[in-house]
Amino acid sequence: MNFRDRHLWIVILAGLSLGTLGVLLSVWGNPQNSGICVSCFFENSAGALGLHDNSRMQYLRPELIGFVLGSMGSAALFREFRSRGGSAPLPRLFSGIFLMVGCAVFIGCPIKLVLRLTAGDLTAVAGGIGLVGGVWAGLKTLAGGVHLAPAQTQKGSGLLVPGLFALLLVFLIVRPGFLLFSAASSAAQHAPWLLALAAGLGLGALAQRSRLCVTGGVRDTLLLGHRSPLLYGLFAFVLSAVAVNLATGRFNPTLYGQPGAHLDHLWSFLGMALVGWLSVLIGGCPFRQLIKAGEGDADAGLVAVGMLIGGALVQSWGIAATAAGVPLYGKVAVLAGFIFVFGLSLVQREQEGY
Amino acid sequence: MPKFSQTSLLWLLMVVATAAMAALLVTASGDDPRWRTAGLDKAVERELAFQARAAFLQKVYAPVEALLAAGQAQTALLKLDELERSFSGDPHGFILRGEILRDLGVLDRAIANYVRALKLSGDYLEEASPLSRRTEIRHLVDQGLRELVPRARSNPDNRSLAATVGELHYLQSRLAGGCE
Amino acid sequence: MKRLLLLLLPVVAVAVFSAGCDRIKERPVLRIGYMNCNNERETMERFAPLSRYLSEQVGVTFETIPVDTHEFEERFRAGEFALTHTNSLLYILLKEDAGLKLVAADKRGHYGSRTAGTLIARKGSGIETLEDIRGKRLVFGPMMAPTGYLAQYDLMLQAGIDPERDLGYYAIPAGSFKHEKLIYGVYFGDFDVAAAPALDLEEMTREGKIAADDFVILAQSQIVPYCTFGAAPDLDPVIFAKVRQALLELTPTDTVEIDGERVKVLKAAWVDGFEELLDSDYDPIREMARRVNMPPYQTY
């Protein structure tokens, strides 16, 4: 590894920022171990827009808006904004939905997985193993010739999702009456919105520059070993999160009584395995999809739309797990997700003679 | 029509539509009746519904509270049985039953009732809620960890104790918060 | 060849079927003694599905035997029962005298596997405290009832009231449904005070037979275990473990077939489930029995 490489230091800076802000946002008001959680934020935001009726999960998370707009700003500044799309749009939309299913059953996205682990939540270990296993399986699938069609330049379509998030920013500021904000429970716990938005913008910009992605980091490490810059980004993320958790008295290593966690380890494993596998197929974890959407990638934007739909469905259909465990519909939905992955892989496989 | 003119026309139309929207938004003040369509004040409606529910519960369960205040725990339990015929599965009934059983020292059943209540409604964990039982639940968890966990450890094959400790950990997890 | 196979097929089928029948016949048959609460017919209706369920789960044929309380000890000592289902006082008696082992306890009502004894008077009768019962007419449940007799007798002794001398008189109703009878006895004014199990008050209130406001609860005992499954000391440990597991895993949706009909096991038995208790959980009853001078700690 070349430690004089400027990109490597950007990746490490992004990892440090993600770990530090991930814990600090919790200290500033976000739910415990959930300073940054893309899937939780989507569930909250879908609720705020009236797409589901769980009154405990409704808040338009400024961080989510910040990720997309920060990425767009950075991409525009460094002339990397390219409007592109057209690669298997509907499979990507459904992938977004199933990403949310996997996250909801585990209770958290890959970033929250790391935040939970670094706060001592040992129930997340099964999810961690599942994520690595899912990425490994995804790589094997790619190696077996499964590829989604290549994207093409599409003028304008890359602006639609950043435009949607800009509209959400307007909603956040104006607070029209149709928005629903929880008065109690986890969605009522949030950092001051300007602080959260600033954190989101900063992380979005850094992630755009560094290409930081949790599943991408795992994937590159499996492929390149210690030569992967993202591995060092992940190290920085983990170390900074542990340090801030320790410094703020939030490190509590135990299996029991953890916030927003359950003991259905098999389903934690399977939920994150689904997320890992899908993320490799579509080229990035939920966070990375948002960053790519900000760079003008309409395909990633469609994944983001799928995640918004998924965020509503996991709440409306009783798919999301709670501390009580994984409901039946959650288990069925995860298995449906795997059926989708297998079916997609079969359909998208490059076969000899074709 | 030449291509250039069409492009210009489209740009022009876009500017007009944007200006019209901006004008509409700017000219309509916050209390303009045009904003008041049915169901828009959802937050107010929700708050009203919550307050109404809290008041209703206080009224329905007032006899139970009165019996408890008079130290008649068993009669209060019987009153809850009576009320359950009309309000079956109501989380507030489970909360009150949990409180009485805790006071009577039946820790395992108290925990089971609090768990049932919290699975139905998280309102009882909110510190700001008029229904809040957060402090009581925290004390119950502390007592359970002190009394039940060592008992379960010294009887590792006892499945009933293990199940109660599992429920205790559920309460602990809910108290810890998190996003769910 | 095909014809030969066709001929052989019924022969093989009959042989397999017969072997199966032999195996069914060979299954060990064990007896479960169920203490009669009211009458034999009710006991059979309540517990035959439970015995059938246990037979299916354990692989042993269990027979349901209704047993009167006063016969239980003698018949258990004679080795008649592999398993027993009794109240907690009888469990202690059989444990102390014949080595009965604790399997599990019934869960029912607010207190789960436990209940309490209460002393009740009709509201408005003028009896408001335990002190007021001196010289009054009291009705107990059956003598071997831990929360229909023992607990209340102990409550009175603890309060300095000797039931043998300080009451006007006391009675024990005859026949079935004794606990309900004594609650109605107070309700209709035949008695001033009744020794009612909290569980019966709870169930009668839930069914709408009485109202919470009808009575004053003068005193309530400590909460103690109630109905209990026990096992003979010589029962095969493998069967013991399987029975316990089957009881603990029994859910409200489990059914068995009785006379061609699917019956919910727990509902039929009037039980919410089973719980694994420790023998030390029964110590409060032991202490009560010692104070009241009742078996198995009776001294003359």
CATH class of the region C117-221: alpha beta
What mean pLDDT comes out for the span C36-40?
90
The CATH number that domain B44-176 falls under is 1.25.40
What are C's interface residues with B at a Cβ cutoff of 8 A? 110-112, 114, 116, 118, 198, 201-202, 205-206, 208, 211-213, 215-217, 220, 223, 248, 275-278
CATH architecture for segment(s) C28-111+225-292 = 3-Layer(aba) Sandwich (3.40)
- From residue A311, alpha-carbon distances to A38, A141, B4, B90 in Å are 10, 27, 44, 28
- Give mean pLDDT, residues C173-197: 89
* Cβ neighbours of C299 (radius 10 Å): 5
Q: In this predicted structure, what is the pLDDT of residue B72? A: 93
Neighbors of chain A with 3 or more C-beta pairs under 8 Å: B
CA distance C259 to C95: 35
> What is the arithmetic mean of pLDDT over A21-40?
96
Looking at the complex, does the CB of residue B103 fall below 8 Å from at least one CB of chain C? no
| Mean pLDDT, rounded, for B71-79 | 94
Q: Where are the beta strands (DSSP E) in chain C?
A: 29-35, 61-67, 83-86, 101-107, 114-115, 117-122, 137-139, 169-171, 193-197, 215-220, 224-225, 228-231, 255-258, 261-264, 273-275
- Please, how many CA atoms are within 13 Å of residue A117, restricted to the half-sphere of its CB? 20
Identify the residue with better confidence: C179 or B166.
B166
- C-alpha distances (whole Å) from A205 to each of A121, A143, A290, C187 are 29, 32, 11, 78
Q: Residue C299 and residue C295: Cα distance in Å, rounded?
A: 9
Query: How far is residue B105's CA from residue C223's CA, in Å, rounded to a whole number?
Result: 8
Q: For chain C, report the end-to-end CA distance as a whole number of angstroms.
A: 85
Mutation target among C183, C210, C228, C276 for the B interface, most CBs of B within 10 A = C276
Are C276 and B109 within 8 A, CB to CB? no
Residue of A nearest to B173 (CA): A257
Model confidence over C240-278: pLDDT tens digits?
A: 999 999 999 999 999 999 999 999 999 999 999 999 999
Closest Cα in chain B, distance from residue A41 (Å)? 9
Q: Say what the pLDDT of residue C19 is.
A: 46
Distance from chain centroid for Cα A350: 28
Q: Give yes or no for residue C8 having a pLDDT over 80.
A: no
CA angle centred on C136, ends C131 and C140, rounded to 5° = 95
C55-84 pLDDT per residue, tens: 999 999 999 999 999 999 999 999 999 999
Nearest to B78 among C111, C201, C276 (CB): C201
* Portion 83-142 of B in contact with A at CB < 8 A: 115, 119, 122-123, 125-126, 128-129
Chain B partners within 8 Å of A32 (Cβ)? 176-178
% of chain C beyond a pLDDT of 90:
83
For A206-258, the pLDDT digits (tens) are 999 999 999 999 999 999 999 999 999 999 999 999 999 999 999 999 999 99
Tell me which chains share at least 3 CB pairs under 8 Å with chain B: A, C
What's the complex ipTM? 0.81
The one-character DSSP state at A183 is: S
Instruction: Say which residue, A177 or A159, is predicted with more confidence.
Output: A159
Output the pLDDT for position B24: 84
Give the nearest chain C residue to B104 (CA atoms).
C223
Instruction: Read off the pLDDT of residues A112-136 as tens digits, 9 standing for 90 and up.
Output: 999 999 999 999 999 999 999 999 9
- Closest Cβ opposite residue C205 in set B78, B101, B105: B78
What is the domain partition of chain B in residue ranges? 44-176
**Residues A157 and A289: beta-carbon distance below 8 Å:** no
In chain C, which residues fall in CATH 3.40.190.10?
Answer: 28-111+225-292, 117-221
Q: What would the pLDDT profile of B17-51 be if each residue is shown by its tens digit?
A: 889 888 888 887 666 665 555 445 677 888 888 88
Percentage of chain A beyond pLDDT 90 is: 87
What would the pLDDT profile of C120-176 be if each residue is shown by its tens digit? 999 999 999 999 999 999 999 999 999 999 999 999 999 999 999 999 999 998 877
Bridge partners, C101 (sequence order): C231
B43 in contact with A at a CB cutoff of 8 Å?
yes
H-helix segments, A49-109: 62-77, 89-106
> CA-CA distance, A112 to C157, in Å (whole number)?
62
pLDDT > 60? residue C11: no
Chain A hits for B174, Cβ within 8 Å: 323
